[in-house]
A and B are shown apart, each in its own frame.
Chain A
Amino acid sequence: MRDQVAIAGVGYTEFSRDSGVSTLTLASRAVLAALEDAGLTPAALDGVATFRVGDSVTPTILAQALGMQDLHWYLDQFGGGSCSHSVVGQAALAIHAGVADTVVCYRALNARSEFRMGGTGRPPVDAVETQYQAPYGFFTPPQQFAMAARVHMERFGTTHEQLGEVAVRQRGFAVDNERARLRDPITLDDYLASRWVVEPFRLFDCCLETDGAVALVLTSTERARDLRQPPVLLRGAAWGSGSTLYSNQQPDPTRSAAADLAPRLYAQAGVGPEDIDLAELYDCFTYSVLVQLEDYGFCAKGEAGDFVQSGATARGGALPVNTHGGFLCEGYVHGLNHVTEAVAQLRGQAGARQVAGAELALSTAQPGYIAGCTSALVLRKDA
């Protein structure tokens, strides 16, 4: 499948604290924007895919709303951020297999005004381990990731300042992203002064619960070359791996499912971490960036804190990371807005935050701390 399927269009809604509209409206806006970007109309679509945790419009309802009369393929994946990139990979499989010609992948959520992860205002997402954790007041993602971050700090000497460096570096990109919800530069002192959410995480360790949607139009590379935008090719797509649950078979929380996935992804793409020009790493929290820098092979286990402090992931660094500011600054659209940003970079359309010479990008999903599985894409500029 290498390079045979391409992303031909991307679309966004506004990102906000309160969209004031339904997830159907958000999804419709993002999908139509992505089609417009590609120079297509809904009539071109024969496939629709999304993922959700009971918090968004289904692909079949969206298809009906957009007047699609002849849906050939759809995917309604139950799951969180860990499967965000698998949805794109599965759409590519459908296209490569000839089941569908042109597929739109979207994620639409009112993650601030309606359904907050962790259940503020609603019950927690029903996961197999929830019943064993919720009675102790433990049912939200910052608690789950803070547990793992703590072990990394204890074992490798990773510091609060190093977590903070992730937030500061990403904000450095966001100042030039008109979509980003937080664009004012911050210093390490600002980070250290931000309030505790769940120790060892402060406010600036946490991503922004956001109302919004993004969408991606996929089709064959051959067809994409005839469309409006320069195609961005799917060089590799992998998902799955770990068999862990949060509280079982994970004796080492400093190692994520990404460590199992990475070799398979790189082999499929025929590249290694040294070939990657920029990385959009799932940043629900600062710590998830650190663990993925290690697990995707950009530095040795335990050394991600030093790697980030060196400036490697910053603007102008050897490996710019989260070039839109990430979920920490742009907003949390549950993984898919990492893919849209990688596309913008590889097209050379990222404006003032453009990474010079960007040809190959890694974009990743939540690294598997809760479900044990993760997903990721290697994307490349068309030759």
Chain B
Amino acid sequence: MSDADGLPLPHADRDSGPFWQALREGELRLPQCLACESLRFPPRAVCNRCASFDTKWVALSGRGTIASWVRTHQVFAPGYRDKVPYWNVQVTLVEQADIQLIGGWAGTVEPRLDQPVRARWVARGPEHTVLDWEPIPD
């Protein structure tokens, strides 16, 4: 699914619906296991640590640190012709180090390893919201 500019949009499935709904409501929520308390991403019904189905969705801080980053120069889809070059970041969530989200970069200069960042909710058309990440000012 793409928007009017040809850019890919979130495409919710039966596991991910609440995740995207939460972004629309201005929260970052993930499923948390009631048995072992671990968070999981991508969202799914069963815990990948203890196989429990007992789950609640919890709101996270929206804070993390930069795990890695790349800068895309090649146009991989027509909608990006006017966007390149652009940064993507991989962010380690403060709540759980083995969850690392890919997102857009809202900073003005190149990210740094382990740089503290916070989420920025970005509307993509009337029905979708995605997360970019920006530096937390010192």
Contacts and interface: CB of A to CB of B under 8 A. Distances in A.
A138 B88 contact: yes
Interface string A246-282: 1111110100000000000000000000000000000
A142 B106 CA distance: 22
Contact of B102 (A120, A132, A197): A132
A118 B72 CA distance: 13
Contacts of B67: 151, 253
Interface in B87-138: 88, 90, 92, 97-104, 113, 124, 128, 130, 132
Interface string B2-39: 00000111111100100000000000000000000000
A151 B77 CA distance: 26
Contact of B99 (A118, A139, A247): A247
Given A129-B42, A197-B74, A151 B8 contact: no
Most buried by B among A136, A248, A253: A136
Interface string A192-225: 0001111110000000000000000000000000
A127 to B, nearest CB: 10
A245 interface: yes
B59 interface: no
Nearest to B73: A196
Nearest to A145: B70
A198 B71 contact: yes
Contacts of B77: 119-120, 137, 139
Contacts of A134: 8, 11
B34 to A, nearest CB: 19
Given A247-B99, A248-B41, A250-B98, A198 B74 contact: yes
A147 B70 contact: yes
Contact of B86 (A129, A137, A142, A245): A137
A139 B70 contact: no
A7 interface: no
B130 A135 contact: yes
Contacts of B102: 132-133, 136, 138, 147, 246-247
Contacts of A250: 98, 100
B101 A143 contact: no
A137 B7 contact: yes
Contact of B71 (A139, A154, A199, A248): A199
Interface of A: 118-120, 124, 128-129, 131-140, 142-143, 146-148, 150-151, 154, 195-200, 243, 245-251, 253
Given A247-B41, A247-B102, 8 more contacts: A132-B41, A136-B102, A147-B70, A147-B102, A148-B68, A199-B85, A251-B97, A253-B68
Interface of B: 7-13, 16, 40-42, 48, 67-74, 76-77, 80, 83, 85-86, 88, 90, 92, 97-104, 113, 124, 128, 130, 132
